[in-house]
Amino acid sequence: MTHDTNLLNNKLFRRDQIWFTEKNRYGATDLYSLAEYNISNDASFESDYIQGRYGAIPYIGNLNHLIDSHHV
């Protein structure tokens, strides 16, 4: 498991070796493979991921409440 998008490279991994997770609005996590998408093997996996083509966008929201609670 990684959050390094540089690893989303078709020279390093096949589409069936790349998996994403995404929480739904109920807090359950869905797991799915890049192989489920009908894309060419030479597609730019990293660029397409960052553009949101595959879902699983890493959005963690506003962290100010965590930062504020740790100020002394």
Q: Quote the pTM value.
A: 0.69
> What's the pLDDT score for residue 4?
84
Q: Would you state the pLDDT for residue 25?
A: 84
pLDDT tens digits for 31-58? 999 999 999 878 899 888 888 888 887 6
Q: What is the pLDDT of residue 56?
A: 80
Phi, psi at residue 32, to the nearest 5°?
-150, 155
pLDDT, one tens digit per residue, over 1-35 is 667 888 888 889 999 999 998 888 888 999 999 99
